Structure 1
């Protein structure tokens, strides 16, 4: 990949991670409404320029514990879950109030680690956010702390934001942090530590510089940010770390504020296609000539074009696609189980509800979930 520093202005889809310390005053537990208003103005400006924006936001536990009067310090799991339940309502309301004056509709998406580990849940999450974005909605994503336990937690929203960026095929991920970039050492302890403007590739030397964490406020520190950078850049998404506490932080980043950019190692779509192509197929679909021609034009595979279904596969599992003559046409992630696919093969999408008893998705395999 060319080592050209990315910019927000050129991005088509942007994921922004916001930590609790930016949203909630640590001393009072109150929402920092002025800061959030500035962020909302930034989001509106990016959208006006043609970008889609997804916000990955912490803050539910911090808001909820203040309402419940819970003491400072580490919370027991049940108290954390209760605080999240109370705070999540307020967090969603705060984003709605901040973005609504700009004519922006918001939607809440709560996820757990299982939602990305399970292919069916992953595809459902991806399809939901894609639909929200296509309808002009700005998704507000957070970990579902009301049900998540240590075994099924992302554990920090840096990792969650990177996964969301990969799931949605984002061009840019921005981590609004309490530091203004990635340093060669901890700048609070080492006066000689220097900030990197650009990291072209995450090497073992770069990893060693992360140490045990530079950030004094965030849960995971710089090590988790570097983990997020690896996940994002390997999937073709550029990532920036910049100071979030300033007013209008996204405008500041675009105008040259101190930051570190991690460069993508590939194209997002190419990375996804390689991931799908590397999977072991669980079944096979045979398609007619019309569907084969449609696939060659980059279209989705509809049930009407399928003539045969073999194998045992579930929703989200990879299947081989073959032409009538046996030609290998590609691999795709099925949106239906093998039994459902057999029931609707050769039928129009409008007939799916009558056959299966529920309103399913129009495509059996969406073009974005296909490697040909």
Structure 2
């Protein structure tokens, strides 16, 4: 496993519970040790991309007598709190920062995804700290990443980071919820992410953030698949940052995959969302499992959903098993038409990038 001190670029994710823990604006005293860690990393030649939650939590102070649970109100709080959150970070540094607000639509589209990557690269090359957050003010359900843990993993892959550090309010991943289970044990190293690890219940007890330990494990799965070492640490304890810089393990380390996915495969598998489905027969299923990237319309049993050329679709077997994601070269309307043709000359190939996957890997 690569030592932290040997990393060249990391993504550091800080959650709302650290930034605005009481809903009364940002908390600079809690962020100061994190800022010092960022400064020290940069002094050692480690580039840092900061993924910062907190706009909604920071903006809550401006709406004290309002129903904070409505979607329009949360968007308004995000708009008001985003500037507060960015200015708080900015005051903690003596170098420039830049704000990058994203939606899932920016990451789903390959050109915009590449634009995000190149923008962050250029900022880092000029000594500017990129501060990334989901654009909660304008995002919709269709365009929402949902939590900044997964956003951090996607950004880590996009910028080819060596390490991902997820700050939370517990010491790491436990065998249970340490707040209520006295027998829960800290898991220091995770070599591979299993179904049992995903099922560990460490439900968040605060109502400030949107993520929890489950999203952090999901984020770690995405990052390690790209060869990125991932840490879950307690961001409320300043000593953990000193431990990282001493190449010690202050929480839970997720080991990176020994056979990382390519950028293209990782983007397709972990970033894109399926807009529709192709259900294939036994012949088509075998074609997919054999890694052949062409299936024809005579192997399709049904076409589900509404999608366009270039959209991501899910390839499923007759019994409902998810086989792969693919980039379709035909729209749903045309594919539905072609599957109904009896003339073999009308059978159309699907240009795809396939992964032999289980449903759990696609979620």
For normalisation by structure 2, the TM-score amounts to 0.69
Relative to 1, partners in 2 of residues 1:274 and 1:30: Cα closer, same or farther, differing over 3 Å?
A: closer
Q: CA 1:193–1:25 in structure 2 vs 1: closer, same or farther (change >3 Å)?
A: closer
SS at 1:186 equivalent: coil
1:61-100 counterparts in 2 under 5 A? 61-71=56-66, 74-100=68-94
Aligned to 1:116: 107
Q: Gapped runs of 5+ residues in structure 1?
A: 279-313, 318-372
Shift of the 266–258 alpha-carbon distance from structure 1 to 2, 3 Å rule, reads same
Equivalent in the alignment of 2:204: 215
Residues 1:198 and 2:189 are matched in the alignment: yes
C-alpha distance in 1 between matches for 2:268 and 2:75: 39
1:264 to 256, 261, 264: 256
- Determine the structure 1 residue equivalent to 2:291: none
Which residue of 1 is the match for residue 3 of structure 2? 7
Structural mapping, 1:79-158, within 5 Å? 79-100=73-94, 104-158=95-149
The verdict on how the C-alpha distance between 1:81 and 1:70 changes in structure 2, with shifts beyond 3 A counting, is: farther
1:57 equivalent in structure 2: 52
CA contact (8 A) 1:237 1:267 kept: no
Kept in 2, the 8 Å contact 1:108–1:139? The answer is: yes
Aligned pair in 2 of structure 1 residues 238, 201: CA closer, same or farther (>3 Å)? same
User: Does the CA contact (< 8 Å) of 1:39 and 1:249 recur in 2?
Assistant: no
Task: Say whether the 8 Å CA contact 2:52–2:148 is kept in structure 1.
Answer: yes
Cα distance per residue 1:231-283 (max 9 Å; x no partner): 00001111100101123652244344630000110466x632665899xxxxx
8 Å contact from structure 2 (residues 176, 185) kept in 1: yes
The change in CA–CA distance for 1:96 and 1:203 in structure 2 (over 3 A counts) is: same
Separation of aligned partners in 1, 2:267 and 2:56: 36
Deviating above 4 A after TM superposition, structure 1's stretches of 4 or more consecutive aligned residues are 273-278
Match of 2:174 in 1: 183
Asked if structure 2 preserves the Cα contact closer than 8 Å seen for 1:60 and 1:85, the reply is yes
Residue in 1 that maps onto 2:39:
44
In 2, Cα distance between equivalents of 1:167 and 1:33: 29
Gaps of 5+ in 2: 270-308, 313-363
- CA drift of 1:147 comes to 0.2
**Deviations 1:13-60, CA, capped at 9 Å, x for gaps:** 01011011101131x613211222222111111001011000000111
1:276–1:67 Cα change, 3 Å:
closer
Secondary structure, aligned partner of 1:54:
strand
Hey, what's the Cα distance between the residues in 1 that align with 2:244 and 2:65?
36
- 2:241 and 2:268 map into 1 onto residues whose CA distance is 36
Using the TM superposition, give the Cα deviation of residue 154 of structure 1 relative to its aligned residue in structure 2, in angstroms. Answer: 1.3
Query: What SS class does the counterpart of residue 57 from structure 2 fall into?
Result: helix
- Pairwise CA RMSD: 2.6
Query: Secondary structure at the residue paired with 1:9?
Result: helix
Query: Structure 1 residues 126 and 70 mapped into 2: Cα distance closer, same or farther (>3 Å)?
Result: farther
Determine helix, strand or coil for the equivalent of 1:151: coil
Corresponding residue number in structure 1 for 2:303:
none
Distance in 1, Cα, partners of 2:211 & 2:33: 26
Residues in 2 aligned to 1:135 and 1:266: alpha-carbon distance in whole angstroms: 32
Go from structure 1 to structure 2 and tell me whether the alpha carbon gap of 1:275 and 1:91 turns closer, same or farther (over 3 Å shift).
closer
**Contact 1:181–1:259, Cα closer than 8 Å, also in 2:** yes
- How many residues get paired? 270
Instruction: Evaluate the alpha carbon distance shift between residue 276 and residue 43 of structure 1 in structure 2; reply closer, same or farther with a 3 A threshold.
Output: closer
Distance, in Å, in 2 between the alignment partners of 1:153 and 1:186 is 28
Contact 1:234 1:271 in 2 (8 A): no
SS in 1 for 2:93: helix
Q: Distance in 2 between matches of 1:112 and 1:276?
A: 15
- Which SS does the other structure have where 1:136 is aligned? coil
> Partner of 1:14: helix, strand, or coil?
strand
SS at match of 2:236: coil
Which residue of 2 is the match for residue 21 of structure 1? 17
